[in-house]
Amino acid sequence: MFFASDNAGPVHPQIMDRLSAANADYAMPYGKDPIMDEVRDSIRTAFEAPEAAVYLVATGTAANVLALACYTQPWQTIFCAKPAHINEDECNAPEFYSGAAKLTVIDTDDKMTPAALRAAIEKQTPGNVHGAQRGPVSITQVTERGSVHSLEELHALTAVAKEFDLPVHLDGARFANAMVALGCTAAEMTWKSGVDVVSFGGTKNGCMGVEAVVFFDPAKAWEFELRRKRGAHLFSKHRFLSAQMAGYMQDDLWITSAEQANANAAYLAEGLRKAGAEFLHEPQANMIFARWPRAVHRKMHEAGAKYYLWNGPLDGDENELVAARLVCDWSASREGIDAFLSHF
């Protein structure tokens, strides 16, 4: 009954096995390990991007802010939706890594619209030395509210960015969950949709702590390496990042694991729906935002369920509907879900 986050579950056994296998003898440090060669190849293949520059870091915030920093000048502004992780959950790391650039936050509960993005960009007049200059656009897929941009929606947003010659970053902390939900390829959801650099998440989908940064244009490769080292994110025993990512890519674990997570969430959503819960958004990947009476929340919490109440305390009117955020990872068991639902 743990639905607090997909960042709190166990590591997939296939990845643990790769870690053990990597733990033999010596390996060259700092990314020169041979497993990294395997990783680079498998990610390039997965993204149909034979020239892509591929790097590993240990946290999703590191992936986001290092990727963005390569495309942001300190006098620019990054365009993103209000709930974006880079805006609400990274304690000014994007500002820190970009050398004190600004975020222009597009006011929305979930996705940006192309019109709102265009309006925000147009407001920053080019050639006006007084205002922040236009910088990259960052899109989150799966969004922080659990919804998934369709390929059309992605295209529409990146088309606006391209019209103004702005680079596009995709925060893919839940990349595989979105891809599986859309039934598309990694290429379609990135460079074929106008994305220049992606934070390709592993941690939330069965890894221990690894994310890839994939640049479709390798021109930024050396700058990234310098920024990663300067940010203290270059691992000496890098092979253990490589091994995780190798295990994640091996036999499409990244895909099957996301399928399992999404299926778990769908099963949970179906149960909630039957029990009468109201959905804030229709769940599309592995996150659910729904509300039901406070009295039921109390029973669930007393029984040890873990999840976030989204807009209200546990104390108050018994009958009031209180929203919850529930996240499933690959490891959530049907028994746990059933036990949780039994409290309705």
- Write out the binding residues for a copy of itself, residues 195-224 only, by CB under 8 A: 203-204, 208-209
195 contacts: CB under 8 Å, gap ≥ 6: 139, 154, 158, 168, 169, 170, 189, 216
Residue ranges in 279-298 that form contacts with a copy of itself under rule CB under 8 A: none
Residue ranges in 142-201 that form contacts with a copy of itself under rule CB under 8 A: none
Residue 304 near a copy of itself by CB under 8 A: no
3-state secondary structure (DSSP) of residue 78 = strand
State how far the alpha carbon of 98 is from the alpha carbons of 64, 88, 226, 227, in Å: 11, 16, 13, 10
Residue 131 near a copy of itself by CB under 8 A: yes
Nearest residue to 170 (alpha-carbon basis) of 219, 215, 234, 203: 215
The nearest distance, CB 238 to a copy of itself, in angstroms, is 9
Q: Applying CB under 8 A, which part among 71-79, 175-183, 261-269, 295-303 lies near a copy of itself?
A: 71-79
Q: Applying CB under 8 A, which part among 2-10, 149-157, 160-168, 269-277 lies near a copy of itself?
A: 2-10
Residue 40 near a copy of itself by CB under 8 A: no
Residue 307 near a copy of itself by CB under 8 A: no
Q: Which is nearer to a copy of itself, 19 or 321 (CB)?
A: 19
Rounded Cα distance, 73 and 13, in Å: 42
Residue 235 near a copy of itself by CB under 8 A: yes
Q: Applying CB under 8 A, which part among 24-32, 146-154, 176-184, 190-198 lies near a copy of itself?
A: 24-32
CA 183 to centroid of chain Cα atoms: 17
Q: Which is nearer to a copy of itself, 131 or 293 (CB)?
A: 131
122 contacts: CB under 8 Å, gap ≥ 6: none
Residue 317 near a copy of itself by CB under 8 A: no
Q: Which is nearer to a copy of itself, 1 or 285 (CB)?
A: 1
Residue 335 near a copy of itself by CB under 8 A: no
Nearest residue to 293 (alpha-carbon basis) of 280, 275, 308, 270: 275
The neighbouring-strand residues paired with 55 are 213
Residue 83 near a copy of itself by CB under 8 A: no
Residue 133 near a copy of itself by CB under 8 A: yes
CA 86 to centroid of chain Cα atoms: 10
